[in-house]
Structure 1
Amino acid sequence: MRAYLEATPVVDWRDREVLALARRLSHGDPFVAARRCYEWVRDEIKHSGDYRLDPVTCSASQVLRHGTGFCYSKSHLLAALLRANAIPAAFCYQRLSVDEDGLSFCLHGLNSVHLPGIGWYRVDARGDREGIVTAFDPPTERLAFEPRLAGEADFKLMLPGPLSVVVKALRGSRGRAQLLERLPDLAFDGAMVHEPPDCSGEPGPAA
């Protein structure tokens, strides 16, 4: 379980501002602390695509500093806040159709949190909008999306770090428009992702 509590350049929960926020959201009950962290990221950090915001953030501290991030980046901040509260947090992904036409696909990033008596429980902090309503309601999952088209998939892998294809896309994009043109995608075989997670490494220019 240690890997799901570690600080990394992306999940940089030892950053002063991230740690201060984590302490404000802390609670003696891990369920309450996890819900507070989840709802704060969901509601207070604007989804860059929904609000058409720049810059493209990657690390938890950047997401907090700029107040915006895509689903991937918001999952980085949520993991950091949970881990700072000694709550194990993992990264999960879905593969979804970009325009709901089943012709092109991208990954969607979310988290799984390990709760006493429950085990791993997935949450999606991308942010609610019309047609999307999420919640922290263990053990019932209340996620933003449910794969339903051919080519879409729901992969319940509990990864200790974000996928490198995701991190590279965020770090390599100079703005929201550029990222939207090359959203990360990855093939799965249903059980094993064909790429290792990015658990370390120094932030690049766009991080």
Structure 2
Amino acid sequence: MEEYLQATEVIDWQHPTVLELAKKIAFKHQTLEAIAKACFEWVRDEIYHSCDYQMNPVTCRASDVLKYKTGYCFAKSHLLAALLRANNIPTGFCYQRLSIYDNGEPYCLHGFNAVYLPEIGWYRVDARGNRSGIDAQFIPPKEQLAYKTQLPGEAEFKNILSEPLPLVVAALKGSAIWDDLLLNLPDISVELFKTMV
């Protein structure tokens, strides 16, 4: 479980601003589940999805997501992992492959988290940010993610990774502004994903 608590260059939970927020959120709550829910709701509601709000810069590192208050789904999952790990709650990374226009090709990855809750085990949460047609919630043991896979070519990757996918990190770091990334969203075939993890 230690790998799901690590601080890394991207999940920099030991950064002073991340630590401060993590402790501030946790202070009001008694249980790990309550802390996890509060962290999830804070990231979901207080960090603006870069594409929805057409905000720059494209962020990747958790502390930068917090600094600029914006991020794509992947970046928001990095900040949520950092806040949870700072509170000693094991957190990993999950991905779906979704149709960008809900009608087949092209596809892209969507990133979210899994958090380890002592009472139920791994529980997947999606802090992407709600809007019309999207209602992600923290209501264990029921999972309520932002998206459901429905079309051929879409997939739910069941793996819970301890670090973000390198191709996701590269896409975020390689894009200067939100619409650059929108035109180059990371994607991976189901077959290739199985060989990478």
Q: Same fold (TM over 0.5)?
A: yes
Which runs of structure 2 are paired with 1:83-162 in the superposition (5 Å)? 83-162=85-164
Q: Which amino acid aligns with 2:171?
A: A
User: Shift of residue 158 of structure 1?
Assistant: 0.5
Aligned residues: 195
Q: Which residue does the alignment assign to 2:8?
A: 8
Does residue 174 in structure 1 map to residue 179 in structure 2? no
Distance in 2 between residues matched to 1:165 and 1:195, nearest whole Å:
11
Q: Does 1:19 align with 2:46?
A: no
* 173-182 or 4-13: bigger deviation: 173-182
SS across alignment from 1:189: helix
More helix by share: 2
User: Which whole-Å CA distance do the structure 2 matches of 1:122 and 1:69 have between them?
Assistant: 19
CA distance in 1, matches of 2:187, 2:73: 14
C-alpha separation in 2, matches of 1:111 and 1:146: 15
Gaps of 5+ in 2: none
- SS of aligned partner of 1:194: helix
Partner SS for 1:155? strand
Q: TM-score, normalised by structure 1?
A: 0.92
What is the one-letter code of the residue matched to 1:81?
L
Equivalent pair of 1:96/1:147 in contact (CA under 8 Å): yes
Partner of 1:38: 40
Residues 109-155 of structure 1, C-alpha deviations (whole Å, 9 max, x = no match): 00000001200000000000000011100000010000000100011
Structure 1 residue 188: Cα displacement: 2.2
Unmatched tracts of structure 1, length 5 or more: 197-207
Tell me the amino acid that sits aligned with residue 183 of structure 1.
L
The CA RMSD over aligned residues, in Å, is 1.1
SS in 1 for 2:148: coil
In structure 1, C-alpha distance between the alignment counterparts of 2:165 and 2:194, rounded to whole Å: 9
Moved over 6 A (4+): none
